[in-house]
Amino acid sequence: MADTSAFNVTGLLRAWTDGDESAQEKLAPILWKELHQNARAYLHKERAGHTLQASGLVKEAFIRLVNLRGIEWRDRSHFFAMASKMMRRILVDHARSHGYQKRGGGQKAVSLNDSANRAGNGSSQRVGCS
């Protein structure tokens, strides 16, 4: 039975590549379960309290895959390899965004000289050894 479903997926992927929009609509429910399992596996490896959920990760990956232009889907394994790569990119982008915000994201950088001047109320005091 797995061979038949793999064949169906490959046929639908090729039809989608050839511009058949109905093939894309037929593919989504067939691919959803396995994509969701893959997403859960990726999220299981992430830090505790991660804000992305498996369904959201699958939706975002699928949207990005649908918007790829000029790709010729060879078969089911090619699609899942690209989907996995897309999920990893989404998770990396999310982690970068989280780290960016954690470190003050977009706030004005202040040099050490500026902060020392502000601490001294504008006067430049020298600290030295006596």
pLDDT tens for each residue of 68-102? 888 888 889 999 999 999 999 999 888 887 665 55
pLDDT band, very low/low/confident/very high, at 125 (cuts 50, 70, 90): low
pTM for the structure as a whole: 0.64
Residue 108: the pLDDT is 65
Buried b (16+ CB within 10 A) or exposed e, 28-41: eeebeeebeebbee
Q: Does residue 103 have a pLDDT over 70?
A: no
Whole-number pLDDT of residue 1:
42
Query: Residue 109 pLDDT more than 60?
Result: yes
- The contacts found for 19-27 with CB under 8 angstroms, 24 or more apart, are 24/66
- Measured CA to CA, the distance from residue 19 to residue 50 in angstroms comes to 37
CA 57 – CA 22 distance, rounded (Å): 23
Task: Compute the distance between CA of residue 106 and CA of residue 32 in angstroms, rounded to an integer.
Answer: 37
d(C-alpha 61, C-alpha 83), whole Å: 6
The whole-number pLDDT of residue 2 equals 46
Domains in the chain: ranges and CATH: 2-104 (1.10.1740)
Q: Average pLDDT of 9-21?
A: 88
